[in-house]
Copies of this chain bind each other. A is one copy, B any other.
Amino acid sequence: MVSSLRLPTLTSLFSPSFTRRSAVYMRRRIHLRPPLAAGFSAQSAASSPTETEDRVDNKKSGRVQDRGNTDGIITPRSQDFNAWYLDIIANAELADYGPVRGTMVIRPYGYAIWEAIQDYLNVKFKETGHSNMYFPQFIPYSFIEKEASHVEGFSPELALVTVGGGKELEEKLVVRPTSETIVNHMFTQWIHSYRDLPLMINQWANVTRWEMRTKPFVRTLEFLWQEGHTAHATPAEAENEALQMIDVYTKFAYEQAAIPVIAGRKSKVETFAGADKTYTIEAMMGDRKALQAGTSHNLGQNFSRAFGTQFTDENGQRQHVWQTSWAISTRFVGGIIMTHGDDTGLMLPPRIAPIQVVIVPIWKKVDEKAGVLDAAKSVAEALKTAGLKVKLDDTDQRTPGWKFNFWEMKGVPLRIEIGPRDVSSGSVVISRRDVPGKQGKVFGISMEPSILEAYVKDRLDEIQSSLLQKAISFRDSNIVDVSSYEELKEAISLGKWARGPWCASDADELRVKEETGATIRCFPFEQPRGTKTCLMTGNPAEEVAIFAKSY
């Protein structure tokens, strides 16, 4: 999460275009044709479609005939990936710009995705022996200076409180960019003996980094994250913990977010400021840039030596503790958007979707309405009872076609349509978000709760694994094995990831970055067998590294 932030990202899409897009979007809102524009531009915090002054013509109804068209509002992904990303965030009401440059307001639908991430990880952290707690966000400036590489890494991007209660402060305070320093200050008071170890905690918190180039979710001045901090009696325990937590993240990415991250170790250049080793999960976005989606650091004794965090071991000797820290942030929400989204909008993996199933009742004549709504309500209730996250969109201010588009744009995995004929036949129509058009549509699924529930759960499971498989294929078809710097350069220039043996110097690594814009994303845990020759130096290499442009 951290090390790459230390370095200017040559290839990312910068604030200027971000701001420009926003302006374009604002202009567009005015010119779009009323029914669609109204729904998409309505900036309500509620997650259901809201109305504007323009009353929608509700005569057009029936199934799918009146599909709106999202082309006018969401830039095609292939045309301008960054514009597409920002359009989705605006239209799906995931986030908005805060009044201070680079800050972001996380809107209810975006926050609900973050809550799904929290709910899963919070359980895993507790299962692996960690307790939640909370550290103050104001850190004395002197703390940051105690660990040499830490201050070097973080000082350029600190926010400083210099005035409190109307008075200039004697010591300026850092608004936490990360909490290793204050954590160690406290650990030093709590840890006395080996019996106090391991000490394993986590906090959910906001952090601040004065980033120059911001992008919603991916890099913001303030963001939300969890940061785990542990202290151990031996280096082996710390190493195991760092690895265990990157595994928790990897599993989360694959199984919940359907993002086939590549887990591995960072190069020295890219290691967290203050860590001995940084483990990372790297995700390939739809534009084939890498997103560092989570990190776990083996801090060794760097902070414990700086802060004097010692314990008395079983032989009565005083020793410095061995530590780890690990984090996942709201950046992950950006990763989900950029992995699965398409030209229609967001596409959410069922396991982290705030709404898994949307139910759209369809009627033409007034006397059909009650029957259709009753059926839709019972179906909604049955699925809710089965533990599914269901939204019944029963407003009569919008046509079914409008609703289809709206909820597709919001990335809801499954849609259930219920019309008068369905009511008569006791069945429903089910459409998959990930399979467009008729192919993703199945008619005549029984409304009988146990049958419907089983069917819906199966489809959600299918969508979950289908999204993962699609992302795996995309990833694998965009990683090129290279054996020379020429090949690496070619792969990168084609927008791909390059994987090749590497044992060259830090200077060589920086040269690659300067010349290609790509960095070592990681030395992946999964390594090919056999002898390898460094692509840069021609010397024997122990490992392959993955190079890519990144966010």
B contact residues around A157 at 8 Å (CB): 165
Q: Is A71 an interface residue (CB 8 A)?
A: no
Closest to A210 in B: B165
Q: Is A132 an interface residue (CB 8 A)?
A: yes
Q: Is A541 an interface residue (CB 8 A)?
A: no
Stretch at the interface among A100-108, A289-297, A472-480: A100-108
8 Å CB interface, A35-52 against B = 42-47, 50-52
- Chain A facing B: main interface SS: mixed
8 Å CB interface, A315-345 against B = 316
* Chain A 184-197: CB-based contact to B (< 8 A → 1; otherwise 0): 01100111110110
Are B115 and A132 in touch, CB under 8 angstroms?
yes
A304 to chain B, nearest CB (A): 16
Q: Is A526 an interface residue (CB 8 A)?
A: no
Residue from B53, B104, B108, B136 within 8 A of A131 (CB atoms)? B108
Q: Is A551 an interface residue (CB 8 A)?
A: no
Q: With A and B bound together, what is the CA distance between A161 and B209 in angstroms?
A: 13
B contact residues around A485 at 8 Å (CB): none
B contact residues around A139 at 8 Å (CB): 99-100
Q: Is A416 an interface residue (CB 8 A)?
A: no
B contact residues around A316 at 8 Å (CB): 53
Contact A42:B196 (CB < 8 A) given known A136-B98, A182-B98 = yes
Are B164 and A98 in touch, CB under 8 angstroms?
no
B contact residues around A47 at 8 Å (CB): 131
Q: Is A222 an interface residue (CB 8 A)?
A: yes
Q: Is A206 an interface residue (CB 8 A)?
A: yes
* Chain A 173-185: CB-based contact to B (< 8 A → 1; otherwise 0): 1010000001001
8 Å CB interface, A212-264 against B = 212, 221-222, 224
B contact residues around A99 at 8 Å (CB): 136, 139-140, 143, 182, 185
Are A195 and B312 in touch, CB under 8 angstroms?
no
Are B164 and A163 in touch, CB under 8 angstroms?
no
A52 to chain B, nearest CB (A): 6
* Chain A 147-178: CB-based contact to B (< 8 A → 1; otherwise 0): 00000000111111111111000001101000
Are A108 and B135 in touch, CB under 8 angstroms?
no
A368 to chain B, nearest CB (A): 25
B contact residues around A199 at 8 Å (CB): 44-46
A164 to chain B, nearest CB (A): 4
Are B163 and A159 in touch, CB under 8 angstroms?
yes
Are B164 and A161 in touch, CB under 8 angstroms?
no
Are A136 and B103 in touch, CB under 8 angstroms?
yes
Are B165 and A163 in touch, CB under 8 angstroms?
no
Are B133 and A108 in touch, CB under 8 angstroms?
yes
Are A161 and B132 in touch, CB under 8 angstroms?
no
Closest to A190 in B: B43
B contact residues around A96 at 8 Å (CB): 186, 189-190
The 6 tightest CB contacts between A and B, nearest first, are A51-B195, A165-B210, A108-B131, A103-B136, A43-B190, A98-B136
Interface residues, chain A, CB within 8 Å of chain B? 42-47, 50-53, 96, 98-100, 103-108, 110-112, 114-115, 131-140, 143, 155-166, 172-173, 175, 182, 185-186, 189-193, 195-196, 199, 201, 205-206, 208, 210, 212, 221-222, 224, 312, 316, 397
Task: List 7 A–B pairs whose Cβ atoms lie within 8 Å, in order of A's numbering.
Answer: A42-B196, A52-B192, A53-B316, A111-B131, A163-B172, A165-B210, A165-B212
